[in-house]
Amino acid sequence: MLSSTRVHPNQAVPRAGAVGNRPWERRPRWPGAAALAALVLPLAACGTGGIASGGEDSELITVVMEEPGDGVTEWRGDASDFEDHPYRPEGLRIEVAYPVFAGADAFAEGLAARVDQEVRDYRGASRDPVSLDVDWQVVAAGNGVLGVRLVRTEEDFHGLRQGYGTYWYDASTGHTAYSTELLADDAALEELNGIVRASFADEEAVDAQSLHPVVRTYDSMGFNADGDLVVEFDDGHLSPVVEGHPPSTEPGRMVAVVPGEEAEPLLSDLGRRAREASVAEEPVLTVEAPGAEPPAEPRVPGAVRAGDPDLDCSEAKCIALTFDDGPAATTPELLDTLAEEEVAATFFLNGNPALTRPGVIRRAYAEGHEVGSHNHLHEHMPESFEGEELAHQVAAVSAMVRRQTGHTVELFRPPFGDSSPEVLEEIGRQGMAEILWSQDSEDWTDLSRDEVVESVVGGAEPGAVVLLHDTLEPTVAAVPEIIERLRADGYEFATVSQVYDGPEAGKSYPPEGLSAPAGS
């Protein structure tokens, strides 16, 4: 049986957990930490049925340490420690920390990379950012495993919110693992996603359909003192869409608890060892140096590769359908069509829609579509932005996508296809290729459904990158027939990266430039 719980606003912060009967008391560790008291509240069952036994503590990940000591030191940093980021807004307060374990230098490096990414993405994705705090707790230690929960508290234009990420260290190899690596494979993550969706089905404050089996949605998982799997979600991560506004942070931290016997078949070897370490009577905080090398390309459940991996566009007759300006209210209908037809597409997102519909981004990524940036604001970039503001415009959507999915964006399409050497240089500096198009559907000129179909099918060529808009109802309605007719003509549907065989950061594609002016 499974329970889902919410944390109610405007109550006191509880202890984050306990091992055995040892309570832990929370002490503020930097200015502003006391403000968290308004964010995280005692957990109460939601009435979804199948409530796990154990009372309030069953919803809490175990905690074995949250202050330096016993061979564990602490790294602490502020904004000056992250000067190499492409966008560095002035006046933003940053206070971050993570533990350093004796004998686990590789874990310190892994946690440092995670914290660096959190700071980078907070800077890029937030509207008028004010402050970011990252605190830590050790949630497992022993059996060759260490677990660290990072608690992120941030404030920006939209207020104060809290988020969580729990990371796991395999001492045998020196590998720092994401929470989804506690699970055996993608199938196990999909099964867990179904279980959690069902547990939230009757929750009015939760959009259960926004749950998708991606690494960033399931980025904080651990075990309670009974060995049950505890899955926790950031403030607002599962909240329903609010038009023109990021989803509300209420009801706060959401939790699903999967009893140990139900979770057991889903766990990897690391997950089973982590579970044993989480319920051990005494933590073992020091580890030996790794005896083996970490995996070069670890299989991370929930890290999705876009497109058909067996499709080779050097041999097949490929075409890429690309959709700009979303996600929009019409995008789910388009995703339904693409799923039914088993077609992968490429989506170029703008910042405000991405903030409004994060669940649609997660869905598109989970279903194997390629996700790129279409800039934060839909403006002519060369004449509208320069310097630090240009850096922010390029960074914003990439940060939003990574926060929702874990995916690092590699493709950038400037609005209207309007670029310049300075814009291209900034795109390349941030690790992305500039993607224009080779075929303009002209759907933006108020074409009807049938006119969109004839425009795409009539102009199709092998290797074409077709410009479309998922914000337009006639375009969405045209897609089924476009797919049918192009398939009948022998076309295979590919992502942009497959058509261009891995675009290189800092380069513009197609090399010959735009085929015609367009209203993208």
- Under DSSP, the state recorded for 68 is S
Locate tokens 């959190």: which residue?
118
Last residue within a domain, chosen from 226, 249, 279? 279
Give the per-residue pLDDT at 204: 87
Residues 258 and 343 in one domain: no
Give the per-residue pLDDT at 300: 97
Q: Are 224 and 43 in contact (CB under 8 A)?
A: no
Residue 10 in domain:
yes
Residues 187 and 60 in one domain: yes
Last residue within a domain, chosen from 279, 297, 330? 279
Residues 45 and 131 in one domain: yes
Give the per-residue pLDDT at 39: 34
Number of separate domains in the chain: 2
Residues 153 and 244 in one domain: yes
Residues 107 and 232 in one domain: yes
Instruction: Kindly report, residue by residue over 40-78, the tens digit of the pLDDT.
Output: 333 333 323 223 434 568 899 999 999 999 899 999 999
Residue 434 in domain:
yes
Determine whether 135 is an active site residue. no
Give the per-residue pLDDT at 515: 57
Give the per-residue pLDDT at 520: 56
Rounded Cα distance, 98 and 107, in Å: 10
Residue 216 in domain:
yes
Last residue within a domain, chosen from 253, 279, 305? 279
Q: Are 87 and 124 in contact (CB under 8 A)?
A: yes
Residues 243 and 376 in one domain: no
Mean pLDDT of the chain, nearest integer = 89
Note down the domain range covering 408: 318-509
Residue 285 in domain:
no
Give the per-residue pLDDT at 26: 27
Residue 275 in domain:
yes
Residues 144 and 224 in one domain: yes
- Given a cut of 70, the residues of the chain with pLDDT beneath it are 1-56, 515-520
CATH, residue 499:
3.20.20.370
The distance of Cα 318 from the centroid of its chain, to the nearest Å, equals 29
Residues 351 and 499 in one domain: yes
Residues 271 and 415 in one domain: no
Residue tagged active-site, from 175, 212, 376, 469? 469
**CA neighbor of 228 nearest in space, from 260, 255, 261, 264:** 260
Write down the pTM of the prediction.
0.89
Tokens of 79: 């904004």
Determine whether 469 is an active site residue. yes
Residue 299 in domain:
no
Residue 404 in domain:
yes
Tell me how far CA of residue 293 lies from CA of 101, 111, 230, 289, 298, in angstroms. 19, 18, 30, 11, 12
Rounded Cα distance, 66 and 103, in Å: 19
Residue 304 in domain:
no
Give the per-residue pLDDT at 36: 32
Residues 183 and 134 in one domain: yes
Residue tagged active-site, from 121, 324, 325, 443? 324
Residue 143 burial by CB count (10 A; 0-12/13-18/19+): exposed, middle or buried? middle
- In this structure, what are the phi and psi dihedrals at residue 69, rounded to the nearest 5 degrees? 150, 165
Give the per-residue pLDDT at 125: 97
Residues 343 and 218 in one domain: no
User: Given CA atoms 358, 404, 385, 92 in this order, what sign does their dihedral have?
Assistant: positive
Residues 326 and 267 in one domain: no
